[in-house]
Structure 1
């Protein structure tokens, strides 16, 4: 029924079948195969053996979605090509702030149309398609774990390899800056720098140049060695695509200096292209690993594979991010709870920018200030075990807010206990830096220091 909701929006039905521009196949056969081979080669030893043994099949499948887009089938009926083309790209310049928080790709399309985008599917839905495929793969791993017999498990293994291979295609697409921009095949719109506008630029770069000049030895050394769990999944996928989009102009600058093609010799061209292929391989390896590792969990739960807590992504609770009061309340509630109770790390993570930084201040034995800087994952990993073992309640005892325009600095005094009625273990001040993006509040960073002799909480900050 959700498809029917999209079809009912004026103009959106046309987008679904006919309005999406034809896009050149990403990376070409050679580039897609390189990404898959490098990703398989970088998998950790803990990946099930049947998966790593399927390296040749995973490599073959990476270009597969482009094979479906043949002219023969498109001429027979445009349904397949028109319906799947938006899955290959996202024109991030056309995405309004907050739109990628939409629940799914159908709601995303509706949001774009409400905000005045005339042909919303021309913006693309690549991040949503990657999310769908990772979630599908994770469910298949759960089925594999629960298979009642060997025959059933073999059937599920075939499905896992197939969908992992197809996922690889779209992750590789996202590594190519062309697939994240309106400038996907020549510069579009105002062009004061005089970048290439020919309609062969896409193919010159990702097919002709890559096929002639790049090999596995160029890519493999650049793939980050350590696999990581990608969490929160949605925000990390979006960040990956934004990082690719940030390299669009560099791609055109290189092409301006020496056009990409069969005879290109520039070392900067080779280094840039190899780094993009390696970024795709690392992300693909990490998403495969994430789907496997987190398949031990019920959907939406968090656990510790090894020493790492996996934090699932969910959209924020609307009340948590609608006001500063709600933001601060959720900031404390998400980490608080009795011994044995899992923390709401997903709720906590939804309050912050993907690149949020925490700075914990302390003093050393000589009384000199010491700053410990953490991202959200490091904070969770360092806190979860003790919080669940001993219990932890953090309560606000005073607040001061300085707001200017769409920014706010919140000084929030707190005290901590192991039980709500237990003795106070410590007190301090959280300095929370937040901003309003027109739809919700975000926390950009948090700095805190503890009360100690010579460093009392200012009386004016404490509630009467």
Structure 2
């Protein structure tokens, strides 16, 4: 709750003294570019409909969607707003040394909440970004699994009515894949923004030692990811900075490692901020602050590209529908998925 109240206060203060500045992670520009760069970098084995310029643009737009959900009221906002961040201390523990380590999170979010409560920590202050990322990835695996079955069966179905239904459902599934890839893009993008992984999320935490006299300004977060990022983010720089595909498919520890890497950029951010690297009026993509922004956006785009690819590849080995049918058997032509797909009730 504290994080969200402070963000709102900072936003109001900025409106009073300057043009409006977004306080969502990366603002519109950063989230769009992460989604687009990831889609443009997908390998050839990913379905072709996802590798078009139109699909890249759509994922980029939909990457903004979780920020646009805000303001619906309760319980909608409380359940979703805390998905955008996870506040770790400098050693990778959630909130404090008493909290669980990012490297040893429980499998279920309910267990995570219970561990925080047992440690005397506020669940809403902590955030649950790792679970939002994992949930988004698992949803995409399901989407791709259904896409595989629909594509395979539509190509061989001899019943005209059934074939028509498969083709219509395939269109629905492709729209869902774009939407769910965009939602995943948002949370992966959040995870590349250092402020979304730390207790120092809007100025250095005033309740912790600050021997380097880093800023404690409550405008730090919004100024950086909104106006400054909007001026220095460059698609060509982001794409040039993307890393090679990482095939590690152990998703839960992979997400933890990704967020820990971002946490490692918190101190470099504050050192750059102290040097004046993020002054909006002098924003320069080639200067240290601009390079920092584009490197973080590259990290988000790289991870998103990899997670989408791994979701696609992982979808070949699962079962879908009820009664359950194996995707591999449908693709091989040894199982008829009609009842699993259309239903028999």
TM-score, normalising length from structure 2? 0.76
CA RMSD of aligned residues (A): 1.8
Partner secondary structure for residue 153 of structure 1: helix
Task: Encode CA deviations 1:433-459: one digit per residue, 9 max, x unaligned.
Answer: xxxxxxxxxxxxxxxxxxxxxxxxxxx
Structure with a larger share of its residues in strand: 1
Q: Which residue of 1 aligns with 2:211?
A: 192
Residue 231 (1) aligns with residue 232 (2)? no
Equivalent position to 1:262, from 275, 280, 288: 280
Task: Encode CA deviations 1:296-332: one digit per residue, 9 max, x unaligned.
Answer: 0137xxxxxxxxxxxxxxxxxxxxxxxxxxxxxxxxx
Residue 105 (1) aligns with residue 106 (2)? no
Contact 1:20–1:82 (CA under 8 A) maintained in structure 2:
no
Q: Which residue of 2 aligns with 1:163?
A: 180
Equivalent position to 2:307, from 287, 296, 302: 287
Residues 175 and 40 (structure 1), Cα distance of their counterparts in 2 relative to 1, 3 Å cut? same
In the alignment, structure 1 segments of 5+ residues that lack a partner are 1-17, 300-464
Partner secondary structure for residue 133 of structure 1: helix
Q: Which residue of 1 aligns with 2:78?
A: 82
In the alignment, structure 2 segments of 5+ residues that lack a partner are 8-22, 154-165, 320-345
Aligned length: 275
Max radius of gyration: which structure?
A: 1
Higher relative contact order (CA 8 A, sep 6+): 2
Equivalent position to 2:192, from 175, 181, 185: 175
Q: Which residue of 1 aligns with 2:228?
A: 209
Q: Which residue of 2 aligns with 1:121?
A: 124
| Residues in 1 aligned to 2:100 and 2:282: alpha-carbon distance in whole angstroms | 38
Task: Encode CA deviations 1:277-307: one digit per residue, 9 max, x unaligned.
Answer: 00000000000000001110137xxxxxxxx
| Residues in 1 aligned to 2:259 and 2:126: alpha-carbon distance in whole angstroms | 14
Residue 276 (1) aligns with residue 259 (2)? no
Describe how 1:339-350 pairs up with structure 2 within 5 A. none
How far is the alpha carbon of 1:158 from its aligned partner? 1.1
Q: Which residue of 1 aligns with 2:4?
A: 21
How far is the alpha carbon of 1:259 from its aligned partner? 4.9
Contact 1:258–1:264 (CA under 8 A) maintained in structure 2:
no
How far is the alpha carbon of 1:97 from its aligned partner? 4.3
Partner secondary structure for residue 282 of structure 2: coil
Contact 1:58–1:165 (CA under 8 A) maintained in structure 2:
yes
Q: Which residue of 2 aligns with 1:59?
A: 60
Q: Which residue of 1 aligns with 2:340?
A: none
How far is the alpha carbon of 1:98 from its aligned partner? 4.8
Task: Encode CA deviations 1:371-426: one digit per residue, 9 max, x unaligned.
Answer: xxxxxxxxxxxxxxxxxxxxxxxxxxxxxxxxxxxxxxxxxxxxxxxxxxxxxxxx
Q: Which residue of 1 aligns with 2:271?
A: 253
TM-score, normalising length from structure 1? 0.57
Residues 227 and 113 (structure 1), Cα distance of their counterparts in 2 relative to 1, 3 Å cut? same
Describe how 1:308-327 pairs up with structure 2 within 5 A. none
Contact 2:277–2:288 (CA under 8 A) maintained in structure 1:
no
How far is the alpha carbon of 1:41 from its aligned partner? 1.6
Contact 1:39–1:282 (CA under 8 A) maintained in structure 2:
yes
| Residues in 2 aligned to 1:247 and 1:181: alpha-carbon distance in whole angstroms | 10
Partner secondary structure for residue 291 of structure 2: helix
Contact 2:37–2:56 (CA under 8 A) maintained in structure 1:
no
Q: Which residue of 1 aligns with 2:336?
A: none
Structure with a larger share of its residues in helix: 2
Q: Which residue of 2 aligns with 1:418?
A: none
How far is the alpha carbon of 1:42 from its aligned partner? 1.1
Equivalent position to 1:132, from 94, 110, 135: 135
Task: Encode CA deviations 1:9-43: one digit per residue, 9 max, x unaligned.
Answer: xxxxxxxxx67634430000011111112111211
